[in-house]
């Protein structure tokens, strides 16, 4: 009955590009793996298949091969640092809304096969509020919104939260302030976003914490290494490990809705609803 065990599905999103969302996703995944969690990172950023680039990994197959029925999800997984497993991005994700019944069943089975090998599924979504982003965020159990100190970052994060709340009644979001100069700056960003959300929306925002600006992040990207590998004791790496410890304490979704096949069902339902 190992497949009955729930999986924590976390979507990492942000209203705009350039907030460091993929870096947070990758390094949070690695930090959770360091805590002995079995982590799969789903790169759902179709325009910029970032994750394999950030880690210097070569993806032979993608989710499109799973949909085509030519490969299992295990075939597609790429191994990253500390046992992190990655499902590479694929234009096949955009095809979610028009799957045949055979593809639909195949995708659910593919994720179901993985259920007994994963504790946490981290989804690195694209920037913005495209149908695909909304579908992935709606299907997750937990949503982390990444913001940075640019006015448009707060505005775009609010637009995403508003859409998810007004149209889909999503009410709980976690917020990470990235590239902060001081802890106070991160708290200030959160307060700005929280104030406007409390005024106009029926949502609860929780401040997860801040990741300080750190030159090592840029250097790690240039070297195509994860920050936690490149500079494991850097300020940003320590902050991400602190976030991971908090995430690791979150309650698991109740079974059976926490099982991976239910995540895929929610994803397909959301994709079909957006395309209708």
Q: pLDDT tens for residues 105-150?
A: 777 778 887 888 899 999 998 887 788 788 889 999 999 999 999 8
Q: Report CA-CA distances (Å) from 6 to 54, 77, 92, 139, 257.
A: 29, 20, 26, 14, 7
Residue 50: pLDDT band (50, 70, 90) is low
CATH superfamily of 2-275: P-loop containing nucleotide triphosphate hydrolases (3.40.50.300)
Q: pLDDT tens for residues 72-106?
A: 888 889 999 999 999 886 665 666 666 777 777 77
Percent of the chain's residues with pLDDT above 90: 55
| 8 Å CB contact between 118 and 38 | yes
Angle 112-122-242 from CA coordinates, rounded to 5°: 135
Domain ranges of the chain: 2-275
Q: Report CA-CA distances (Å) from 104 to 22, 40, 110, 117, 208.
A: 27, 21, 10, 21, 35
């Amino acid at each position: 009955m190992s497949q009955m065990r729930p999986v924590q599905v976390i979507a990492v999103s942000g209203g705009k590009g350039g907030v460091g969302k993929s870096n947070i996703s990758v390094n949070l995944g690695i930090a959770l793996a360091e805590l002995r969690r079995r982590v799969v990172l789903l790169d759902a950023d179709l325009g910029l298949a970032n994750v394999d680039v950030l880690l210097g990994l070569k993806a032979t197959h993608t989710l499109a091969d799973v949909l085509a029925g030519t490969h299992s999800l295990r075939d597609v997984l790429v191994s990253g640092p500390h046992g992190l497993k990655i499902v590479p991005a694929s234009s096949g994700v955009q095809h979610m809304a028009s799957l045949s019944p055979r593809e639909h069943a195949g995708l659910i089975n593919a994720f179901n096969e993985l259920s007994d090998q994963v504790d946490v599924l981290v989804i690195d979504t694209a920037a913005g509020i495209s149908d695909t982003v909304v579908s992935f965020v709606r299907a997750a159990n937990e949503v982390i919104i990444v913001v940075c100190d640019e006015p448009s970052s707060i505005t775009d994060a609010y637009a995403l939260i508003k859409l998810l709340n007004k149209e889909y009644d999503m009410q709980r979001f976690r917020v990470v302030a990235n590239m902060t100069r001081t802890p106070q700056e991160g708290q200030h960003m959160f307060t700005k976003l929280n104030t406007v959300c409390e005024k106009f929306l029926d949502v609860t925002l929780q401040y997860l914490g801040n990741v300080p600006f750190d030159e090592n992040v840029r250097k790690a990207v240039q070297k195509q290494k994860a920050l936690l590998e490149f500079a494991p004791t850097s300020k940003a790496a320590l902050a991400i490990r602190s976030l991971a410890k908090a995430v690791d304490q979150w309650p698991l979704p109740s079974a059976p809705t926490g099982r991976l096949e239910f995540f895929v069902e929610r994803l397909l339902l959301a994709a079909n609803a957006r395309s209708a």
